[in-house]
Amino acid sequence: MSLSSYTDLSGKTAVITGGSRGIGAQTARMLAAQGVQVCVVGRDEKALDEVVAQIGEAGGTALAAVADVTDTTALEQVRDLVTSRLGHVDILAAFAGGMGEPVPTPNLTEQRWRQVLDSDLTSAFLTIQAFLPGMIAQGSGSIITMASAAGRQPSQANLAYGVANAGLIMLTRHLANELGPNGIRVNALAPSSIRTEKVAARMPDAVQQQVAAAHPLRRLGLTTDVGEAALFLASDASSYLSGITIDVAGGRITN
């Protein structure tokens, strides 16, 4: 697969939360291939180190930061580490999240509800809060949030996950409106049925085929599909786009 090239990204610095595996790790590798210095953030130190090693072997520059993205202090430490080692942050990909496993609403506990909202929505807010002063000071930046098709329409995911991702889309639109005068763009990605390592390992092949058949393009998405959309939003190619949500969903969209 031939990947797009965005020469304007070379020399920039990006922070990617949820960067230890899946979409976050793939996006980090793809940004690094464009000449971007990347910091991958997550809780799995070994997985983060593997991503950093892969990027280094390919000739890129990467840094790992172990942190809980629901912890303000931890995020501030990541910010300080990145700025001291790599310089000011141009691209912020708030990709951490998950916990969308189906749970009938009568069985959805208060604890689970709070965990999902913290993991998917609050984490994005806190991540952006940590890096926003620097972007405002430099008068530029591209922020990309990771929503989901479950935030666009009802799905089999649990209610908290759908609500959190719908909230991410409004967070994106609100910030785009507020931060535009500061030269900062904010956009969202809403993937559907992406064949991550987790999906490949846990979803039987027959089920993968059924899910693929439910999409007009008749296949599951790849992490590179989402990464390509992230590169576009990070680059000057999307310089007049802010506040939008790109459905990386194989044509399966209901607004």
Model confidence pLDDT, tens digit, residues 174-219? 999 999 999 999 999 999 888 877 777 777 788 888 878 888 788 8
Task: State the pLDDT at residue 2.
Answer: 60
Residue 254 has pLDDT above 70, yes or no: no
Give the closest residue to 149 by CA, choosing from 250, 30, 26. Answer: 250
Task: State the pLDDT at residue 255.
Answer: 59
CA end-to-end distance (rounded Å), the chain: 30
Active-site positions read 161
Q: Could you give phi then psi for residue 191, rounded to 5 degrees? A: -75, 160
Give the closest residue to 143 by CA, choosing from 243, 248, 29, 23. Answer: 243
Residues 34-86 pLDDT 10s: 999 999 999 999 999 999 999 999 999 999 999 999 999 999 999 999 999 99
- d(Cα 93, Cα 5) in Å, to the nearest integer? 19
| Spatial contact of 216 and 252, defined as CB atoms under 8 Å apart | yes
DSSP 3: P
